[in-house]
Structure 1
Amino acid sequence: MSDPTPTFAVISGAQVHEVLRDRDKHLLDLVEAAYRLHGSGDTVNPPSYFLRFPEDPSSRIIALPASVGGDIGVHGVKWISSFPANVQRGIPRASAVLILNDQETGYPIACMESSIISAVRTAASAALAADWLTRDRVRPTKVGFIGTGLIARYIHTYLAGTGWSFDEVGIFDLSPEHAAGFKGYVESTGDGDVVIHESAEDLIKACDLVVFATVAGEPHITDPTWFEHNPLVLHVSLRDLSPEVVLSGTNVVDDVEHCLKANTSVHLAEQAEGNREFLSGTLFDVMTGAVQLPADKPVFFSPFGLGVLDLAVGKFVYDEVGRAGDLAPVEDFFFDLHRYGKR
């Protein structure tokens, strides 16, 4: 009888990057498939768990446990930290690992660097939403980024890699240095004219697709009139918009229960209204035709970020590394597996 114990491997960030590089369209399709599995009930995605620190309230580490059925077939958890002060240290704000568990035995089969996986699933989710939420509207020609870190770069990459092109790319960041760095990156891609705006208001009013990718902990955009031109807003950072702004538009989320917590903008709107009737539905509802979007209001997409998406991308990485023969099991990782020990 063969040994039933799965092997355990560590997959580096370099390996993750190599697998995911230049596969934007495939990964967009993979994320859409995961959304459809989730919407049809073939996933388990319990609430995320926040580890916070009284001495450092702006930082946190989040656990996202999940399970995905269908052709993906894996359990696991992402453990992702957000320490904003890292930016001043010269390293990225977020770091993460993803643990995959075998669907049959529950044994962990891999630990992989996951900041790239997290950025990819976030960017693919945003690009997917931009596609579906504009199918019955005039396709945006001017995109603006408020916040210019890693997530903004990945979202721009995935928009460009899945067929989007823009006449103009707007940029606003509280750090002139970061805005200039992002401008140089966008210019290197050749994607339209690039404009650094002096304020978030100027950028929002000038763009018909607005991406929020900040580290804001509470709303700082409070005037609904800035959105009177009815843009599509990818509210990836979740806490930038005041309840008044949220309630002025059409609201789509990735998962209702996940988004309406942890003082996200839509959670604050729920508290202000006392109900959830301002939500039109989920991205899955839009994809299946259950929700129709009006053209005469701004559309706000607020994705809390589902662990099932991380698992879908992570399992793809695991399978590809294994297919290439580059999966390196950790010898003797599992030990003392006999019920009564060996004599």
Structure 2
Amino acid sequence: MYEFSVIGGKTAREIIGRSRPDVVDVVRDTYLAHHDGDSVNPDSYFLRFPEKPDARIIALPAHLGGSADVAGIKWISSFPANIERGIPRASAALLLNDYETGYPFACLEASQISAARTAASAVLAAEQLTGGRGAGRLTVVGAGIIARNILEFFKARDWEIGSVTVHDRSEEYAGALAAHVTGTLDYPADCESDLATALTGADVVVLATTAGVPYIVDPRAFAPGQVILNISLRDIGPELIEGAYNIVDDVDHCLKADTSPHLAEQKYGDRHFITGTLAQVIRGEVATGTDKPVIFSPFGLGVLDLAVGLYVFRRAQEAGEDVRVEDFFGETTRW
């Protein structure tokens, strides 16, 4: 009852690496539980710094019911300047709490978990919105860690992809990701320096950048029927959002913090452009067509971190890969 475990990032990545298809299923089940009201997922809390306006640390508290019945919080930082130092932009920790007693029972390095739940939700959305597991051409905009994880999840879910096009402002990063795709994931890949060319003809587009304001504003940027995974949330101008089918993870959560859908709400004064949530698509309650682009914008729900974190924790315990901290709690009786 009073045990406390620590699970490092290397262990978390190894567990995720050998169970990516299962993680997608965990994310799917969590979306449905959230849709059914079996969760508590309050607003995220942002810690910002006056002298570093692009940096932030975000707290995502949540509770997930059902067989998980776990509470917790993810504390994730985003410092874009880290990229210039050659280190990842994001770092995170996840604390899991027992729902019966409130006692924390595990702390996990969570950048791997955050990347995995983000990638799993992207691939799940692609499967639901395309109706299959194939794309003649897939374009990735932003050649960072999130993009790499998403492509690894596509591979793990046995997607048939004719070719992958990578666009990034950095030729070095684009080349590195393309080499990984070709050498490790066994998909043909190339780099394209022109954004419009990279987007044209792609069946699926993955936006995984650190953009803070929209830069995709040409009304012809996306084609009817094209599926756009708007993972970085702020790349697309409000006019393009208004002219597309829009699927989100949670409407109220997604329409805040100047995301592209939030900018569209501010511009048009309502939410008429929202088609529904991914859970509604899974349940068959809403559908998209091929007469307009289809955009999936996931704000990122804390319950997903809990679900994936709990999955990793359980697998680590089963394999004896967690580190037990003896006497973590100084007092375990009242007297």
The residue aligned with 2:143 is 148
Counterparts in 2 of 1:1-343, with a 5 A limit?
5-135=1-131, 140-189=135-184, 191-339=186-334, 341=335
Deviations for 1:43-68, whole angstroms, at most 9, x for unmatched residues? Answer: 11100011111100111100010111
> Does the C-alpha gap of structure 1 residues 131 and 275 become closer, same or farther in structure 2, counting only changes over 3 Å?
same
**What's the CA shift for 1:190?**
5.2
Q: Which amino acid aligns with 2:179?
A: G
| Deviation per residue, 1:5-52 (Å, 9 max, x gap) | 521121111221222122121111111111111111101110001111
Q: Structure 1 residues 336, 24: CA separation in 2 closer, same or farther (over 3 Å shift)?
A: closer
Could you tell me how far apart the structure 2 residues matched to 1:285 and 1:182 are? 33
CA contact (8 A) 2:243 2:273 kept: no
Q: Which runs of 5+ in 2 are unaligned?
A: none
Per the alignment, in what secondary structure is the counterpart of residue 257 of structure 1?
A: helix
Give how far 1:332 is off.
2.1
In 1, Cα distance between equivalents of 2:74 and 2:166: 30
Higher strand share: 2
C-alpha distance in 1 between matches for 2:7 and 2:314: 11
The separation in 1 between residues aligned to 2:33 and 2:69, in whole angstroms, is: 11
Q: Unpaired segments of 5 or more residues in structure 1?
A: none
Pair 1:180–1:327, CA change in 2 (3 A): closer
TM-aligned CA deviation for residue 227 of structure 1: 1.1
Cα distance, 1:263 vs. partner? 0.3
Rounded Cα–Cα distance in structure 1 between residues aligned with 2:171 and 2:201:
19
| DSSP-derived class of the 1:295 partner | coil
Q: Take 2:112 and 2:200, find their aligned partners in 1: how far apart are those partners?
A: 32
SS in 1 for 2:126: helix
Question: C-alpha root-mean-square deviation of aligned residues, in Å?
Answer: 1.4
Larger radius of gyration: 1
Distance 1:190 1:100, change over 3 A: closer
For 1:132, what is the secondary structure of its paired residue? helix
Q: How many residues are treated as equivalent by the alignment? A: 335
Output the TM-score relative to the length of structure 2.
Answer: 0.97
SS at match of 1:195: strand
Percent identity between matched residues is 49
Alpha carbons 1:221, 1:241 under 8 Å: kept: yes
Structure 1 pair 190–34 and aligned structure 2 pair: CA distance change class (3 A): closer
